[in-house]
Chain A
Amino acid sequence: MSALVLECRLPGMLTTVQDSGRWGYQGKGMPVAGAMDLQSFRLGNILAGNDENDAALEVTVLGPTLYVAGGEGMAAVTGADLGFRVNGRPAPMWTALAVKTGDILSFSGPVSGCRAYLCLSGGIDVPVVMESRSTYTRAKLGGFEGRALRKGDRVLCGEPRPLWKKCEGFVCPGELRAVYPPDAPLRVVPGPQEDLFTAKGIQTFYGSDYAVSNSADRMGYRMDGPEIEHTAAADIISDAIPLGAVQVPGHGQPIVMLADRQTTGGYTKIGVVCSVDIAALSQRLPGNGVRFVKISLDEALSLGKEEQRKRDELRRLRAAWRSTPRSSAPVSAEGPELPAAGEAILKVDGVEHRVSWEELQEVK
């Protein structure tokens, strides 16, 4: 058994290596980057038998064609439906699929959403730069040589984590998937500069229909719609730009700042889209409608906890799935066979530990 090697036959529109981002260096001007839809990304990693923050491929609108040039492992695709195929035939998303040398993974074209995550067992193995594997293309750093994939690139995966084979066929139940209704309003926590907008401006922001403009990328999404009124100037002394910050420059059109945003900036911020809904926005395309609704910090925090609960539940289901003997296993005549592999969560001194075991065969 060996780790997966992928050869890029067609790169797609923008296929980059991303993990959960490059944290700890924003104070030095280094943007965070990382997966735009962290929920889909993390669920995909759990399906593929990985740790939830292992590096994966973020596939944008038009997906790549990748040839499995070596090794074997699990693949799981989550996020946008971009027409995932294995060997030319439609393949299920949200499912751990066994892939091996000679297979071709491709995407036939977008059906819904913007960004899919192709998670592979072992994670994408590119060098760690400043504690992350995420690609930040503007500084040509991280990921695969600091850039999007190109034809001919050979992408290596890490050694699969224990029990990866036991994930085969594991499906994420519908209620745990990251599915975002296209017309659901984005929930916003007000601040830090809401006081620099007039009551009318705030009302415009929360009461109007906006649409994602053509300037929408990993750095931020600018909205088209009614102008938001400031009390005075739109400029402030430059300060930090949080993920999801809704900047309103002088033109009055809101811009939601996303993964590749610059670390600091000098525009007023009327509010910040809550973490959970940043993922939802990342799946919208230019022309899609957007509405904003105000929520409290406590409400936003409980939304985040609910997403965490779903991931914990998926991990629990994965443990159960891996511990169940499959029908394809050889049936012993001596009675029921004990599972040769399993996984459980043990609590020791109040700390949860994930434990997995696997029977190793003696080579004769």
Chain B
Amino acid sequence: MEEKKYPRILTAGDGCVVAEFGDSIDPAVNSRVAAMGGDVWKLAFPGVLDVVPTYRSLAVYFDPVNTDVKRLYARLGELCLKENSGAGNERRRTIIVPTIYGGEWGPDIEDVAQHTGFSAEEVIERHSGRECYCYMLGFTPGFPYLGGMDPALEVPRLKNPREVIPAGAVAIGGKQTGIYSIASPGGWRLIGRTPMLLFDPNREPPIFLEAGMWIRFRPIDKAEFDDIEAASIEGTYRPEILEEEEASS
């Protein structure tokens, strides 16, 4: 088969155009998507309605009637060729997700321990010991697609999915870990809960996570859980976000 050349611009109807950077789930590819997403918002191109970063591509939505579509295509063509806007100057942003593990908040932690051969304490240590990368948000508002979980924590999904998993549930399904952003059905194993609301439509911003961010789970106790939960319900909680210079590769 013919080798595809990346990046490439793909037509996705009369209201959307896609810049595709590769065909793999890879933080290097994804960081170009995230960088271009920022660049496109900064353009403030008249008629552009939305910018959607995903694993390996960026979708740009526009009003089909009030947009100079040819010019938009040309501008996006230029932007996607731009190398990662100055490698080395990019800041690595890490959001801290306070999490209470086990107990009523993580009823499956013993199962996970059994499957992996670790103790529950070791599961917590390994789960919170590595930063995960947020490739994109989707599925439900604010749901992060994370990569980078310790592979030793891989466990099969539940045979019988739960009908309702509460918002904030921290779970493992297969090779992935995730946080349920709103109450929804699901088959992942629950190991903990964050009191932070990933999604609150009446807060600014409604969603704290962004594609391209790193996530670190920080184990907390019940007292801290209650404090953060109260502040979250009031809408005053703001997560800790660390910024550091990323070492140039």
A129 close to B (CB within 8 Å): yes
A356 close to B (CB within 8 Å): no
Q: Which of B10, B55, B201 contacts A192 (CB 8 A)?
A: B10
- Listed by A's residue number, 21 A-B pairs whose Cβ atoms lie within 8 Å are A25-B207, A26-B59, A28-B210, A29-B138, A29-B139, A29-B140, A29-B142, A29-B143, A30-B141, A30-B207, A139-B140, A139-B141, A192-B11, A237-B23, A238-B145, A239-B54, A239-B57, A243-B15, A271-B13, A273-B13, A297-B11
Q: Nearest residue in B to A31 (C-beta to C-beta)?
A: B141
In the assembled complex, which residues on chain B have CB atoms less than 8 Å from the CB atom of A139? 140-141, 182, 199, 201
B247 close to A (CB within 8 Å): no
In the assembled complex, which residues on chain B have CB atoms less than 8 Å from the CB atom of A301? 14, 64, 69
B109 close to A (CB within 8 Å): no
* Chain A contact residues: helix, strand, loop or mixed: mixed
B120 close to A (CB within 8 Å): no
In the assembled complex, which residues on chain A have CB atoms less than 8 Å from the CB atom of B49? 23-24
A275 touches B50 (CB 8 A): no
Taking residues whose C-beta sits less than 8 angstroms from the other chain, chain B's interface range is 35 or more
Q: Distance in Å from the Cβ of B44 to the closest Cβ of chain A?
A: 12
Given contacts A23-B50, A239-B57, A242-B61, 4 further A-B pairs with CB under 8 A are A237-B23, A237-B54, A297-B69, A308-B65
A274 close to B (CB within 8 Å): yes
In the assembled complex, which residues on chain B have CB atoms less than 8 Å from the CB atom of A300? 13-14, 64
Q: Nearest residue in A to B24 (C-beta to C-beta)?
A: A237
B15 touches A191 (CB 8 A): no
Give the interface of A toward B (CB within 8 A). Answer: 23-32, 129-130, 138-139, 141-142, 189-192, 237-240, 242-245, 262-265, 269, 271-275, 297, 300-301, 303-305, 307-308
A26 touches B65 (CB 8 A): no
Contacts known (A263-B52, A272-B16); A238 close to B138, Cβ less than 8 A: yes
Segment 14-64 of B: residues with Cβ below 8 Å from A: 14-16, 18, 20, 23-25, 37, 49-57, 59, 61, 64
In the assembled complex, which residues on chain A have CB atoms less than 8 Å from the CB atom of B202? 129
A304 touches B64 (CB 8 A): yes
Interchain pairs with CB closer than 8 A, number: 146
A27 touches B51 (CB 8 A): yes
Distance between Cα atoms of A264 and B211 in the complex (Å): 13
In the assembled complex, which residues on chain A have CB atoms less than 8 Å from the CB atom of B37? 27
Distance between Cα atoms of A326 and B39 in the complex (Å): 54
A189 touches B145 (CB 8 A): no
Most buried by B among A31, A139, A245, A300: A139
B197 close to A (CB within 8 Å): no
Give the interface of B toward A (CB within 8 A). Answer: 10-16, 18, 20, 23-25, 37, 49-57, 59, 61, 64-65, 69, 136-143, 145, 181-182, 199, 201-202, 206-207, 209-211
Q: Distance in Å from the Cβ of B80 to the closest Cβ of chain A?
A: 14
Distance between Cα atoms of A240 and B14 in the complex (Å): 15
Contacts known (A24-B50, A189-B11, A237-B25); A242 close to B59, Cβ less than 8 A: yes
A237 touches B50 (CB 8 A): no
Q: Nearest residue in A to B138 (C-beta to C-beta)?
A: A264
Distance between Cα atoms of A30 and B11 in the complex (Å): 22
In the assembled complex, which residues on chain B have CB atoms less than 8 Å from the CB atom of A305? 65
In the assembled complex, which residues on chain B have CB atoms less than 8 Å from the CB atom of A264? 52, 54, 136, 138-139
Q: Nearest residue in A to B53 (C-beta to C-beta)?
A: A27
In the assembled complex, which residues on chain A have CB atoms less than 8 Å from the CB atom of B18? 192, 239-240
Q: Which of B12, B52, B64, B201 contacts A26 (CB 8 A)?
A: B52
Q: Distance in Å from the Cβ of B108 to the closest Cβ of chain A?
A: 24
Q: Nearest residue in B to A303 (C-beta to C-beta)?
A: B14
B13 touches A262 (CB 8 A): no
